[in-house]
Structure 1
C-alpha cells in the first residue's frame, strides 16, 4: 500500500480516536497510552511483527493487541480502538495514527512538537532547560520527545517542524573531515 494511502488512513483513524477521546474527556489518558505504545513498538521486535504481520488473522491480531493493551493498563477507549484497528486489518497504521493524534493534541493546546536526539540520556534539569530554551526560541509551548542516539558522540540534534539544528559532535567531525580533505 502506498505511503500516502497509509497516511490518509492513519489520519482518519486518529481523527476518529481524537473525537471520541475529546467527547469522553480522556484526551490526555489516550495520549499517554499512545506514547507508551509508541515506545513499545519502537523497542519490541515482537510487537512490530504483530503490528505489521499480514500472516496473522484478524482474530489473532485482535486477541494479541488487546492482551498487550490490558497488560499495560490502557484505557477502555484505547483498548477498544486497538481491537477495532485489528479487526479492520489496520494495525500497520498505528505509528501514523499515534503521530497524527499527538499532533492534533499539540495543535489544540497551541504547542509545537520537537524531536530531540541526544548522545546520552538527559537529566531532568537538562530536559527542563531544553524545554525552556525551545519555548523562548519559538514563542510557544513545546512538547519535547527525546531519544538517545549514541552515534552522535555528543551534542544534540533538535527538529521543530521543518527547522533543524544539528550541534552533534558527529556532524562537526564530518565537517572537519571534509575541510581537511580540501587542505591536503
Structure 2
C-alpha cells in the first residue's frame, strides 16, 4: 500500500500531520474532499483530465480548499499533488491515509459491496462480526453494485470474502460446464 505513488504521498501527509499533532484535523479535511469528489463528478473529471494545465488545476484546488475550509496542511497537500501533476492519485491517497489513520487508532477498515444499500442495522451487525474476526474495531465503507444480484463482497485488508449471488452463480455455471464435458 505504501509502495504505490498514492501511498507515498499519503504516508508523507500522515507523518507530517502526526509531527504537527493535527491528524484528526487532516482526517476531517480529507473527509470533506472525499465528499466533494463523490458529490461533484465534474471535479473528478477535472482532476483526471490531461487537457487542464497544472497551473489551472493548482489554482482550482486552492479555491476548492478554501471553499471546503481545509486546514493549511491539507490545502498544501492538494497544491503539491496539483503542482506535480498527481491529482489523479488523490482518491487513492485519501484511501491510504484513511487506512493509516485506522491502523494508528487500532482499527481496521473494510469495504462492503452489496447489491442494494445496507440498513444501519445490517452495517452494525457486519461491523460487530468483522471486528470479532479481525480482533480489533472495524469500520465499514459501503458501496452498491447491482451486478452482485444479492449477498455481499467484503474486502478486509488483503482478505476478500465473497458471498455474492453473482459469484455463486458463476461458480455453479463453471461446475455445470465441466460436468457436461
TM-score, normalization by structure 2? 0.83
Secondary structure of the equivalent of 1:103?
helix
Tell me by how many angstroms 1:166 deviates: 0.9
**Structure 1 residue aligned with 2:166:** 170
Which of the residues 11, 18, 35 maps onto 2:7?
Answer: 11
Deviations 1:64-102 (A, max 9, x none): 122223333333321222122212222122133223212
- Measure the CA separation in 2 of the matches of 1:182 and 1:55: 49
Tell me, yes or no, if structure 1 residue 74 matches structure 2 residue 70: yes
In the other structure, the counterpart of 1:132 is 128
- What is the CA–CA distance in structure 2 between the aligned matches of 1:126 and 1:29, rounded to whole Å? 30
Q: Which residue of 1 aligns with 2:146?
A: 150
Q: Shift of the alpha carbon at 1:33?
A: 3.0
| Correspondence 1:45-64 to 2 at 5 A | 45-64=41-60
Distance in 2, Cα, partners of 1:15 & 1:173: 40
Task: Deviation per CA, 1:95-121: give whole Å up to 9, x if none.
Answer: 332232122212212222211101111
Match of 1:108 in 2: 104
Describe the superposition over 1:112-157 as per-residue Cα deviations: whole angstroms up to 9, x where unpaired: 2211101111111111111001011111111221111111111110
Per-residue CA deviation, residues 25-79 of structure 1 (Å, 9 max, x unaligned), is 3322322332443454466542233222333222210121222233333333212
Inter-CA distance 73–123: structure 2 relative to 1 (3 Å threshold):
farther
Count how many residue pairs are aligned between Structure 1 and Structure 2. Answer: 179
Q: Is 1:159 matched with 2:155?
A: yes
- Classify the secondary structure of the residue corresponding to 1:167: strand
Structure 2 residue aligned with 1:86, among 65, 82, 87? Answer: 82
**2 CA distance for matches of 1:39 and 1:156?**
24
Deviates most, 165-174 or 44-53: 44-53
CA distance in 2, matches of 1:100, 1:165: 21
TM-score (norm 1): 0.82
